[in-house]
Amino acid sequence: MTLVHLTGAQFTFVVYLVCEFASLMDEDNIADMKGNERFARLVIASIGALAMTVFAISYGILTFFNGSLLSPFVNYPFAGTSDWYEVDALDKANLIRPAQGGWRAIKMVSYFAEYIVAFCILISLAVINYFFYRYTVKPYIKDDEEDHVCEETDDDE
């Protein structure tokens, strides 16, 4: 299930960020952007990419050095112990105690970084929507409203 989750996260987070950077580097898109749109989107995408890198590094550390169900106690090189599992008679692993010390800190960094990536994607979409509405939709609404304004006639007097 972890592999399914990570695959879905890659398609959601990484592919979105790659597409966002590609759109921000395309000359036709750049020509269509007005105001600070490109700058805002570039900053948000960069923060998301940095957070995704931090997530990948921290999750990689946890994956490769965190021990296994057969050997859950991994003290070196980090202070504290990793997750402690107990295997029952049906070979089902039950979590007895969550990670402590450095392992816990790495897990918290991993979770926080994943949250930041997701948040950056949501903010990025909100920025795209804002600039689209402001420069594409709103001028047409304003023009349309001006066309329907009733002028006073001599009959109203």
Identify whether 142 is part of a domain.
no
Identify whether 105 is part of a domain.
yes
- Higher confidence at residue 2 or residue 107? 107
Has this prediction a pTM greater than 0.85?
no
Identify whether 65 is part of a domain.
yes
Closest CA to 55 of 117, 145, 98: 117
> For 81-139, how does the pLDDT look when each residue is reduced to its tens digit (9 = 90+)?
666 667 777 877 777 777 777 888 888 999 999 999 999 999 999 999 999 888 888 77
Q: What domain range includes position 101? A: 2-135
Identify whether 155 is part of a domain.
no
Identify whether 141 is part of a domain.
no
Identify whether 94 is part of a domain.
yes
> How many Cβ atoms sit within 10 Å of the Cβ of residue 13?
21
Q: Which residues of 127-143 are buried (b: 16+ CB within 10 A; e: fewer)?
A: bbeebeeeeeeeeeeee
Beta bridge partner(s), residue 95: 85
Q: Is the pLDDT of residue 69 over 60?
A: no
pLDDT-derived band at 16, boundaries 50, 70, 90:
very high
